[in-house]
Structure 1
Amino acid sequence: MNICWKRIRPALAALACVGLAGCNWALLDSKGDVGLAQRDLILICIGLMLIVVIPAIVLTFVFAWRYRAGNTAARYMPDWAHSTKVEVVVWGVPLIIIAVLAAIVWKSTHDLDPYKPLDIPGEPLHVEVIATDWKWVFVYPDLGIATVNQLNFPAKRQLAFDITSNSTMNTFFIPQLGGQIYAMAGMRTQLHLVANEPGEFRGMSGNYSGHGFSNMKFTATAMTDAQFDAWVAEVRSAPEQLSFDAFKQLAAPSRKAPVRHFASVEPLLFKKVIDQFIGVGENTAASSGHHAETQASQE
C-alpha cells in the first residue's frame, strides 16, 4: 500500500494544482482589518469542516483497499448492523463541529456587521456610492467632489460608505478590503472598511445586472495623506460639475466608462437619487385605480 500511495500522491498534487491554477486569491490576500477578519473566519470554518471531510475521504480509500475481493484476511461480517462507538463518532463529532461553528458565526456576525463603525481612531471618510448601468459613481459629500470608476482614499483611515443604485440591483465589492453589500434602488445600505497599507485594489459588482456587467469595475487606491490631498486638489480643478440633471445623463447605460472627475456636486445628490424611487409603486397603483374608476364611470 505504501508503494501505491507514493505513486498516487504526486498525481493528486498535480491535479490539485491544475484545478487551482485559475483561482484568484484576493479573498486570502486581504489588506484591511475587515478583510483579515473575514479571511480568518473562512479558514477557521474550512478547517473545522475538514475534520469530517478528510477522514471520510481517507477511510473511503482505506475500506475499499482493506475489504477488496482479493483480501481474504479481512474479517467478513454480513450480519453486522450496529456499533455504539461508530454511532457516537458519526453523530457526535458533526454535532460538536456544528455547535462550534454556530458560536463562531454568531460572534463574527455581530463583530463584522457592515453597518457597525470600525474601532479606529480619527474621523472616517464618508463616500456615497451609486451603482448605475454600468459604472460606479463615487460622491465625497464632505469634500464636495465626485468621480466615476475611481475610488481614492487615505490608507489606515476608516471608510464609511452609503450605497444605493440608480437602476438594477448590484453589489459593491472590494475583495481585498472585505465584505460586499447590495446596492438597491430606493434604498441605502452601509459598509465600513479600512486599508491597512497603501495600494491598488480591484473593485467590482458581484451581482449580474445586464450586458455591461462584466466591465462594471473600478480601482480602489489607498494613498498616503499627502497623496490624497494632492488628488483632491486635482479633482477640484476638473471642468465638470455634477448636478442631478447631469447625473441622469451620466447614468444612462454605457460600457467601459472611463474615469471622470467632477469638481463640485449638487447638494443632497445621493438623497435625490434615492427619493426618485420612493412612492413609485404607490403612485402607479393609485394611477391604475383612478384609471379603472374613470373607465367604469364611462361605461
Structure 2
Amino acid sequence: MRPVFRKLSALLSVAFLLVLSGCSEQYLVLDPKGPIASAQKDLILITALICAVIAIPVFAITAVIVWRYRDRPNRKASYKPEWEHSTKLELTWWGIPIIAIAILAIVTVNYTYKLEPSVAIESEKEPIEIQVTSLDWKWLFTYPEQGIATVNYFKMPVDTPVRFKLTSDMTMNSFWIPNLGGQLYTMSGMAMTLHLMADEEGSYYGSGANFTGLHFAQMTFTADVTSQDEFDAWVNEVKTTEEELTEAGVEQLKMKGSHQVAQYSSFPDNLFYDIMLQYVEEGETGAHAHHMSSEDSGQDASSEHNH
C-alpha cells in the first residue's frame, strides 16, 4: 500500500502548489470591464449563492449528525428502531432542492436570453466591426470599415459596441476576453457573431480557450481599449506607416507556428469571407451566402434589444 500513499501524497502536493500559485493571479472573470462581463459575473454569484443555500445546511447537518449519533458511553440520543418516515423531513430534503432548481432554471433562462451573443448591445453609438480569424497558432484581426489588419493585438474605442465576426482558417478555437465577457467558438465555414463593449479604458488579456495543439499556450492577444480620438489616431498611424498585408503574407500567416504582434495598413478585399468559405464545395456557397445575408439583415432589428 505504500506506493499508493506515495502517489496520493505527490498528487496532493502538486494540487496544493497549483492552488497557491493561482492565489496571486487576478480573477479576470470576476473583474468585469463591460456590461456583458458584469452580467456574467452576476449570474456566477447568483448561482453560487443558490447552491450555497443548499450545500452549507447539508454540510452543517452532516456534521451535527456525525457528532450527535457517534458511538460513545452514556449516549443520550433517542433510539427508534421502528422509525421509517417523517413527512416534515421528506418535505425538507425534497422541497428545498426542487425550489432551488426551479429558481436556477428561471435565472439561467433569463440570462441565456439576455446574454445571447448575436444580439446587439443597445447604445447611442454605432457599433464598429472587427473580423476575427483564428489561425494555427495566432489571431488575425481585420477592420473592414477602417481597412487595416493586426495580428495578436487590436484596439477598440471605449463605450462603443463592437460586433465581432468570428471564423477559423482550419482548427476550431474559442475567442475569449475574460474582462469583457464572451467566449465564442471560431469554426471553419461559419461566421459567428459576438457583441461586446468596454466601459473602462485599459489593456485586457485575451486568448484561445480551446486546446489546439503544440503552441496553444502562445495563442494569446491584447485588447486595448482607448478613447475614440486615440483609436482614430491609431488607425491613421497604421494606415500611413505600416506595410500592407498581401496575399503572400496571408498564406504565410496560415502556416502553422506562433507569430509576434503585427499591424498592416491594408489587407486583401473580402479576406475574412474568403477564408471562411475556402473549404465550401461548389454548390454550397448559396446556402452560406443566405445565412450571412439573413444574419446581417437581422442586426438592425436585434439592435433594439438589450444584450
For structure 1, which segment, 78-87 or 238-247, has the greater mean C-alpha deviation from structure 2 after superposition? 238-247
Matched residue count: 267
> Offset at 1:242?
2.0
Give, in whole Å, the separation in 2 of the partners of 1:167 and 1:242. Answer: 20
Q: Note if 1:113 corresponds to 2:116.
A: yes
Residue aligning to 1:216: 219
> Offset at 1:121?
1.4
Q: Note if 1:275 corresponds to 2:288.
A: no
Can you give the 5+ residue segments of structure 2 that lack an aligned partner in the other structure? 1-18, 285-307
Residue aligning to 2:75: 72
Query: Could you say if the C-alpha distance between residues 20 and 86 of structure 1 is closer, same or farther in structure 2, counting changes exceeding 3 Å?
Result: farther
Residue aligning to 1:236: 239
Query: Could you say if the C-alpha distance between residues 18 and 272 of structure 1 is closer, same or farther in structure 2, counting changes exceeding 3 Å?
Result: closer
Secondary structure at the aligned position of 1:242 is classed as coil
Aligned AA (2:39): A
Aligned AA (2:202): G
Alignment of 1:1-299 (within 5 A): 21=23, 24-70=26-72, 72-255=75-258, 257-279=259-281
> Offset at 1:19?
9.2
Whether the aligned pair in 2 keeps the contact of 1:129 and 1:136 (CA below 8 Å) is yes
Give, in whole Å, the separation in 2 of the partners of 1:203 and 1:281. Answer: 37
Secondary structure at the aligned position of 1:241 is classed as coil
Give, in whole Å, the separation in 1 of the partners of 2:282 and 2:202. Answer: 42
Give, in whole Å, the separation in 1 of the partners of 2:182 and 2:134. Answer: 17
Residue aligning to 2:12: none
Give, in whole Å, the separation in 1 of the partners of 2:34 and 2:177. Answer: 10
Aligned AA (2:112): T
Query: Could you say if the C-alpha distance between residues 238 and 252 of structure 1 is closer, same or farther in structure 2, counting changes exceeding 3 Å?
Result: farther
> Offset at 1:198?
0.1
Give, in whole Å, the separation in 2 of the partners of 1:79 and 1:117. Answer: 63
Whether the aligned pair in 2 keeps the contact of 1:132 and 1:166 (CA below 8 Å) is yes
> Offset at 1:226?
1.8
> Offset at 1:207?
0.4
Structure 1 runs (4+) deviating above 6 angstroms are none
Normalised by the length of structure 1, the TM-score is: 0.85
For structure 1, which segment, 147-156 or 23-32, has the greater mean C-alpha deviation from structure 2 after superposition? 23-32
RMSD value, Cα: 2.1
Higher normalized contact order (CA 8 Å, seq sep 6+, divided by chain length): 2
Normalised by the length of structure 2, the TM-score is: 0.83
Give, in whole Å, the separation in 1 of the partners of 2:241 and 2:21. Answer: 47
> Offset at 1:23?
5.8
Could you give the per-residue CA deviations for residues 135-179 of structure 1, whole angstroms, max 9, x where no partner exists?
Answer: 000000000000000111111110100000001000000001001
Secondary structure at the aligned position of 2:181 is classed as coil
Could you give the per-residue CA deviations for residues 261-283 of structure 1, whole angstroms, max 9, x where no partner exists?
Answer: 1101222111100110112898x
Aligned AA (2:51): M
Give, in whole Å, the separation in 2 of the partners of 1:77 and 1:176. Answer: 56
Can you give the 5+ residue segments of structure 1 that lack an aligned partner in the other structure? 1-16, 283-299
Residue aligning to 2:15: none
Kindly, what percent of the aligned residue pairs are identical? 40
> Offset at 1:21?
2.0
Could you give the per-residue CA deviations for residues 201-222 of structure 1, whole angstroms, max 9, x where no partner exists?
Answer: 1000110011010000000010
